[in-house]
Homo-oligomer: A and B are copies of this chain.
């Protein structure tokens, strides 16, 4: 076993080693490395061979120091474990990787202080930009703060209300409208919107879409009961029970997320009300189609949002253009919880003619 501890790290081969082996100068080797400059093909190949022979590993730190820029992007989300963010990150990493950038991930735990620490962390790594899902408790003009730090950025999924700030996220108004319109088509006339934090704009946006749909169908907005909650399935259970125990049962429940819907399912079963109410979710997580009944939901295609966000950042740092507020079209994924399978919720459909 070789001697190895914090103080005696072995230095690897440098560009100078490569250059000497290839019989060229360090500068030339650098040009070959970056595929730029005017170097003959024969020399290029010799340098590349030399790199392979000595097991050369690029030193980003050295490059960053001189050029004061790194091909590195920071990604900051609230909860790494959230599958939605997992897909989002996947889309981002893939698109950024294809453009030659590497990513550093950080997680804020949805806490503003930790978020500040993470940003400092990323800045000390000299990231060229950050893609950030802002913490719920972020300061209102957070985007401007980042601008003052000269840090190109794009907000993901959540925005702070400033429509001039760089942002990529789902069209929540449309998503809310799609879900509500579908339930109205099924004949539902009374509704509850369960879950989600009032502090987040996407909730008010979805609500607006829902009310647009109600208005279009000539249904009074008072037909929509509204109960917020935390973001876990447990919160969905809690708020589901709250609805059942303190309100008349609506024809349909629109859940703020699939996770919430999961808790609501359980609340309905606990009260013996399973499959007596139409339910929709939001997000379309991987297991949604395996539930009982399979969940009708709104897909926001997080990977596509990630790819678009990568584009947004690249446009900023490579072309200096800021695309501003970008909204992505969600999709209604129809399964069975809305009542779309006749042999499952036919009792409901019998009393409410499908339009």
Total contacting residues, chain A, CB less than 8 A: 64
A259 vs B140: C-alpha distance when bound (angstroms)? 39
Name 29 A/B residue pairs within 8 A (Cβ), A-sorted: A3-B320, A4-B152, A4-B320, A5-B317, A6-B318, A6-B320, A9-B68, A9-B69, A9-B150, A11-B68, A57-B124, A58-B124, A60-B124, A60-B125, A61-B62, A61-B126, A80-B89, A81-B85, A82-B83, A82-B86, A102-B125, A104-B104, A104-B105, A233-B286, A233-B287, A234-B290, A262-B287, A265-B290, A265-B292
Instruction: Tell me whether A246 is interfacial, beta carbon within 8 Å.
Output: no
Determine the distance from Cα of A89 to Cα of B89 in the docked complex, in whole angstroms: 15
User: Is A232 an interface position by the 8 A CB rule?
Assistant: yes
- Check A81–B70 contact: CB distance below 8 A: no
A121 to chain B, nearest CB (A): 5
Contact with B along A316-330 (1 / 0, CB 8 A): 011110000000000
Chain B positions within 8 Å of A68 at CB level: 9, 11
**Contact between chains at A6 and B317 (CB < 8 Å):** yes
Q: Does A10 contact B (CB under 8 A)?
A: yes
Would A259 and B287 count as touching, CB distance under 8 A? Answer: yes
The 3 A-B pairs with the shortest beta carbon distances in the complex, nearest first, are A81-B86, A105-B105, A5-B320
Whole-angstrom CA separation of A86 from B233 in the bound complex? 17
A237 within 8 A of B: yes
Give chain B residues whose Cβ lies under 8 Å from the Cβ of A70: 61
Which residues on A are within 8 Å of B, measured CB to CB? 2-6, 9-12, 57-62, 64-65, 68-70, 79-83, 85-87, 89-90, 93, 102-107, 120-121, 123-126, 128, 150, 152, 232-234, 237, 259, 262-263, 265-266, 269, 286-287, 290, 292, 317-320
Q: Complex Cα distance A9/B2, Å?
A: 42
- Of B232, B263, B290, which one neighbours A233 at CB under 8 angstroms? B290
Partner of A107, one of B5, B69, B90, B126: B90
Cα of A263 to Cα of B123 in the assembled complex, Å: 43
Chain B residues in 8 Å Cβ range of A266:
290, 292
> In the complex, A70→B121 CA distance in Å?
13
Q: Which residues of B contact A120 (CB under 8 A)?
A: 57
The residue in chain B whose Cβ has the minimal distance to the Cβ of A263 is: B290
A286 with B107: CB separation less than 8 A: no
Report the separation of the CA atoms of residues A60 and B82 in the bound assembly, to the nearest whole angstrom: 29
Chain B: which residue is nearest A264 at the CB level?
B290
Asked whether, in the complex, the Cβ of A57 is within 8 Å of the Cβ of B105, the reply is: no
A90-B81 in contact (CB<8A): yes
Closest chain B CB from A26 CB (angstroms)? 15
Chain B residues with CB under 8 Å of A61's CB are 60-62, 64-65, 70, 125-126
- A126: chain B residues within 8 A (beta carbon): 59-61
- Chain B: minimal CB distance from A120 (Å): 7
Which chain B residue lies CB-closest to A70? B61
Knowing A11-B68, A80-B80, A105-B105 touch, does A150 contact B4 (C-beta < 8 A)? yes
Q: Known A-B contacts: A6-B128, A59-B65, A80-B80. Give 13 more (CB < 8 A).
A: A3-B320, A9-B68, A57-B120, A61-B65, A81-B86, A82-B86, A102-B124, A103-B106, A105-B105, A233-B290, A262-B287, A265-B292, A266-B290
